[in-house]
Amino acid sequence: MDEIYQKFFSHIDRIKNFNFLIIVEGKKDRAALESFGIKNIVELSKKPLFHLIEDVAAKNNHCIILTDLDAKGRELYGKLSRGLSHLGVKVDDSFRNFLRRETQLRQIEGLRSYVEKLSKAKG
């Protein structure tokens, strides 16, 4: 547990230090990330994905996609990743892969409660 906790915060610190743009599905996902001090967040909105992809690509050359780790989230991730990569944006998968492989988490909005459980188990 302690190792996962440390890796988690290492990813959070890296995201904040480099001010990476993070794309999330909704308000609760944004709130979860903001609770860790992350600010550069874009929510998927009701507008078509290609508009979001073009907007992100016009202003960024690097981003992180943190859609949920369920089937719908994986589908959204694939569409966003392909579209952004096609426009020259590097998609950083390291935090997403960490969450998928080393945690039980499947919803980004649950990050805060997940870390609180880790902290209690740790200490």
**DSSP string spanning 9-24?**
HHHHHHHHHHT-EEEE
Q: Which of 36, 55, 6, 14 is nearest to 23 (CA)?
A: 55
pLDDT tens readout for residues 21-49:
999 999 999 999 999 999 999 999 888 99
pLDDT at site 47? 83
pTM score, whole prediction:
0.94
CA 74 – CA 45 distance, rounded (Å): 17
The per-type count for the chain, helices as H runs and strands as E runs, is 6, 4
State the chain's maximal CA–CA distance in angstroms. Answer: 45
* Domain limits, the chain: 2-115
Q: From 1.20.58.390, 3.90.1150.10, 3.60.110.10, 3.40.1360.10, which CATH number describes the 2-115 domain?
A: 3.40.1360.10
Which tokens hold the place of 69?
A: 């780790």
What Cα–Cα distance (Å) separates residue 42 from each residue in 17, 73, 101?
A: 18, 15, 24
Average pLDDT on 4-32 reads 96
